[in-house]
Amino acid sequence: MKNVRLLAVLAIGLMSVMSVKAQSQRMLEFQMMMSIHDTTYKNFIKDGKYKEAIAPLTTLINILDTTTICQNTELSPEMVKAAKADYLYDLACCYALTKQKKQALMTLEKSVDSGYKRYDNMFNDNDLVSLRKDKKYQALLAVVKDRQPLSVLRKSASYAPDSIKMENPFRYESKESRSLSMVREYFKLDSVAGQGDELSKILNLLHFAHDNMRHDGGNRAFAEMDAIDLYNYCKTTGKGINCRQLAISLCEMYLAMGIPARYVTCMPADPLDYECHVINTVWSEQLQKWLYIDPTMDAWVMDENGTMLSIAEVRERLVNDQPLVLCETANWNHESQQTKAYYLEYYMAKNLYYFVCKKFSRFNPESDYRPNPVEEDIRLIPVGFVNDNWKCDTTTDPEVFWAKPETQQADDIKILMEIRPEVNYVTHLYTLAELGFSDSAYAAKYGNTLPQAAIDTLQKYKDCLTFGQGEGGMLAGPFFFGVSAEDIPNADSMQVVMNVVMNEGKKANAPADVMAAVRAIADVYVAHYDAYLKNVYPQVKADMEERRQLLSKKMQEQTFVKDWERVTGYTWHRGDYHWLLYRTGQKGPSYNNLNDSTNTVWYNQDIDYQLAMFSHEFGIFLMQDSIDSIVEEFKEYTRKLDSDCDLTYVPWSAFESLACWYNCKIAGRETADYRAFDEADVQTFCRIFDRLSKEGINDPAELYRKGIMEYLK
């Protein structure tokens, strides 16, 4: 028993709920009642009056047994049960200290049955010394021991490939970006890293972050989430920062040195345990593997031969009881040395149950001043594990989550012209239902392949499905872009994809009318897919094959990957670039990006225009790592401007214009995209970019930012 306790799990839960929203009068009364009895029993224990503490403890337990507070507040039944287990444990201690052994054992059993799991406390607690030789106590202790982190981890399910194979979701900001170049220069990282081999540089950067940024797990620094701001916060205030902020800082330092890295949130299995730990995974070209790096503890982990291990390998060795060696430097703030027994076998064993990462490793990844949607995250969980504390994309495939960074050279990058059924099926539906796409010749040929009832259903939700100029209906994302990007061989696989869409809607608490629309559209997508694959797609594919071959040949003659890297100073890190050709939709939004290296396009356009747009879209993707956050910033900024006209188009217009400007520089002339984007006010923006460039501003992100400000004047 701890002589000074909080309201255990319950009090923490109540306070967290209260901090989110104002509570009902009933909740406040409940908290007050609990607090009075909790304070009373704690004071008795502090004064050694264990017999007197029994009554208020019993009252607390009775309140928790009879309360219905969970029915109309955010306080969960699991939280109440955990609090009850702690109170029962303290009550058992009081019985033991007042020589009521039978009552002590009965109450301790109730505590364990309620989920008590503090093994070290129960094993070492002198309050229970009178019970230690009793077989009942020993049996209960064994149950609690089985709840220890290492035991829980070893009982976790295995991983497995996903039902739908996921492409490598991870990207890494280029070291040439303005922000990371600034990090490298600010910290003099070349000097910090030293002249040794890659592993020595990785460890030197780890030591630097650990030694210069103190850890304080209870403090989330009021600062931007980047290495420079967080470092200055530490130096200015003398305070520490939490493990997430430390790992973000070190991640940026590695990225600034051209070393792929991520910060990984390591999570426990228990949904009521919110104490996670954030560390880094760092790619070693030398070892061709990811490495486990913890800036909070200045720690890495090795096998019995001294080879540095990855996070995945550390977890696997804990599960399989294989040798692990914790580095000798492992410490907390140079104040306490870390041991293998505590740090690895208890603390990290608890927090290596599942993992969460950002898909894009970048400078300032979690700014308080821009949206941080869950779509940017992905987690790796064991098969069958259910925990909704972190709602984001999920995989059970470690090969996806720990995928090797893609680092092709410009000479190795292939521009691939492909014909796939998914985007052709989607544009088939969009064209026949006239959802922003039209093609009279195609409709005349294939209009009878889709029943009128299906067309009517899609037209009913037209406003939700259409899109253009970077904006779109609320369901365009999953039903156009999402389906087009998937690998869907048949209607059964389409049903799996649709189930995912519907489950995401449920998780987001989508309104009933939206869920009805999702179900209706999903039914159309599934019902007619197999017939399309059999009766339409073979002819559609044959119609495009000659054009695909011509475009592939033209692409082999292009050098725009090198050209774009040369004019922007940025480096392409996303592997091969894919163009998916679709047959229908002559009139409609073309050049639609599905992910960070895949575009869709109507196949039969003017060749010169297509080549210009292929280059244009590649440039958009190359620059977006550095510019996307600024786009969001200016979207919000233009919404708030006091103006007679709508200026929210400006961020989109400026980005397209910047791509046109660079495209003209590469070609040495006006390109077809420059002439095509009339609605983007390209000419005005390009004159601004010309002037800024002559003033010595050459970084694309800086040109974009200053260009918008000049334009808005």
Phi, psi (deg, nearest 5) at residue 215: -95, 135
Average pLDDT for residues 140-146, to the nearest whole number? 90
Instruction: State CA 40 to chain mean position distance.
Output: 44
Look at residue 164 and tell me if it is in a domain: no
Between 413 and 521, the more confident residue is: 521
pLDDT for 23: 45
Look at residue 165 and tell me if it is in a domain.
no
pLDDT higher than threshold 60 for residue 115: yes
Q: Which residue has the tokens 């190359």?
A: 622
How far apart, in Å, are the Cα atoms of 585 and each of 532, 565, 581, 696?
Answer: 16, 32, 11, 43
Most confident stretch, 108-122, 237-251, 353-367: 237-251
Instruction: Give me the domain span that covers residue 706.
Output: 619-712
Q: What is the mean pLDDT of the chain?
A: 88
Say if residues 281 and 262 touch (Cβ distance below 8 Å).
yes
Distance CA 209, CA 206 (A): 5
Q: Is 432 exposed, middle or buried (0-12, 13-18, 19+ CB in 10 A)?
A: buried
Number of domains in the chain: 4
Is the same domain home to 601 and 650?
Answer: no
3-state helix vs strand vs coil in the chain, percent to 5: 55, 10, 35
Residue 22 has pLDDT above 50, yes or no: no
Both structure tokens of 306:
């001294």
- DSSP 8-state assignment for residue 294: B
Coil, strand, or helix at residue 570? coil
Please indicate, yes or no, whether residues 269 and 374 belong to a single structural domain of this protein: yes
Q: How confident is the model at residue 81 (pLDDT cuts 50, 70, 90)?
A: confident
| C-beta of residue 353 within 8 angstroms of C-beta of residue 269 | yes
pLDDT at 460 over 60: yes
* Residues in a beta bridge with 80: none
- The residue with tokens 């070609």 is 667
How many C-beta atoms lie closer than 10 Å to residue 467's C-beta?
20
Q: Are the C-beta atoms of 88 and 107 separated by less than 8 Å? A: yes
Mean pLDDT of 307-317: 97
Residues written for the chain: 713
306: left (phi over 0), alpha (psi -120 to 50) or beta: left
CB count within 10 Å of CB 469 equals 12
Residues 626 and 577 in one domain: no
Angle at 344 between CA 340 and CA 345, to 5 degrees: 90
* Token duo for residue 570: 């940025």
Report the percentage of the chain scoring pLDDT > 70.
92
Q: What is the pLDDT of residue 12?
A: 35
Residues 121 and 85 grouped into a single domain:
yes
d(CA 468, CA 139): 66
Strand partners, 361: 172
Q: Which residue has the higher pLDDT, 524 or 648?
A: 524
Rounded to whole angstroms, how far apart are CA atoms 205 and 183?
Answer: 13
Average pLDDT of span 209-225? 93
pLDDT average, residue stretch 651-677: 89
Same domain? 564 vs 640:
no
Residues 474, 358: one domain?
Answer: no
Number of H helices, E strands in the chain: 32, 18
% pLDDT > 90, the chain: 63
Q: Kindly report the CA angle at 606 between 603 and 607, in degrees rounded to 5?
A: 85
DSSP code per residue over 52-89 = HHHHHHHHHHHHHHH--GGGSSS--HHHHHHHHHHHHH
pLDDT in tens, 176-212: 777 888 899 999 999 999 988 999 999 999 999 999 9
The DSSP call for residue 156 is S
Contact present, 437 and 584 (Cβ < 8 Å): yes
pLDDT at residue number 370 = 65
Q: How confident is the model at residue 279 (pLDDT cuts 50, 70, 90)?
A: very high
11 pLDDT above the threshold of 50: no
Where a domain ends, among 571, 605, 639? 605
Under the banding of pLDDT at 50, 70 and 90, the label for residue 438 is very high
Q: How far apart are CA 598 and CA 580, in angstroms?
A: 7
Assess contact for 263 and 358: CB atoms under 8 A. yes
| SS3 state of residue 366 | coil
**Residue 353 · residue 309 · CB < 8 Å:** no
Mean pLDDT to the nearest integer, 642-660: 82
User: Is the domain of 394 the same as that of 500?
Assistant: no
Per-residue pLDDT at 367: 80
Q: Is residue 423 domain-resident?
A: yes
Phi, psi dihedrals of residue 400, rounded to the nearest 5°: -75, -50
Please check the confidence at residue 656 and state whether its pLDDT lies above 50: yes
For residues 663 and 669, the answer to whether their CB atoms sit within 8 Å is no
Residues 674 and 645 in one domain: yes
Work out the pLDDT band at 19, boundaries 50, 70, 90.
very low
Domain contains 551: yes
Q: Token pair 């299995």 is at which residue?
A: 269
pLDDT band at residue 643, thresholds of 50, 70 and 90? low
Question: Closest Cα partner for 123 from 145, 91, 103, 107?
Answer: 145
Residues 119 and 180 in one domain: no
458 and 559, same structural domain? yes
> What is the Cα–Cα distance from 387 to 366, expressed in whole angstroms?
23
Mean pLDDT of 73-82: 77
Point out the domain boundary residue: 580, 605, 630: 605
CB atoms within 10 A of CB 419: 21
Res 626: pLDDT: 80
Asked if residue 268 lies in contact with residue 276, where contact means CB atoms within 8 angstroms, the answer is yes
- Token pair, residue 420, equals 């796939």
Categorize the per-residue pLDDT at 76 as very low, low, confident or very high, splitting at 50, 70 and 90: confident
Residue tagged 């730990």 (tokens): 277
Q: Are residues 326 and 209 part of one domain?
A: yes
> Which tokens hold the place of 152?
């829980």
In a domain, 644, yes or no: yes
Cα distances from 400 to residues 254, 344, 396, 531, in angstroms, run 22, 25, 8, 32
Split at pLDDT 50, 70, 90, the class of 148 is confident
CA distances (Å), origin 492, targets 164, 269, 489, 519: 12, 32, 8, 16
Does residue 156 form part of some domain? no
Q: Find the CATH number of the domain harbouring 301.
A: 3.10.620
- Predicted pLDDT at 642: 66
Whether 158 is covered by a domain: the verdict is no
Distance CA 464, CA 513 (A): 12
The per-residue pLDDT for 674 is 82
pLDDT at 637 over 80: no
Report the CATH number at residue 79.
1.25.40
| pLDDT value at 690 more than 80 | yes
Strand pairing report for 415-418 and 577-582 = parallel
Same-domain check for residues 238 and 387 = yes
Beta bridge partners of 284: 289
Distance CA 240, CA 231 (A): 10
pLDDT at 562 over 80: yes
List CB contacts of 389: < 8 A, sequence separation 6 or more: 267, 271, 274
Written as six digits, the tokens of 619 are 């440039």
pLDDT tops 90 at residue 504: no
pLDDT of residue 469: 57
8 A C-beta contact, residue 607 and residue 672:
no
Residue holding tokens 């969001």? 632
Question: For the sheet containing 577-582, what is the strand order?
Answer: 415-418, 577-582, 598-602, 592-595
Domain assignment of residue 159, yes or no: no
Taking the CA atoms of 627, 630, 635 and 641 in sequence, report the sign of the dihedral they define: negative
Q: Which of 401, 435, 459 is the last residue of a domain?
A: 401
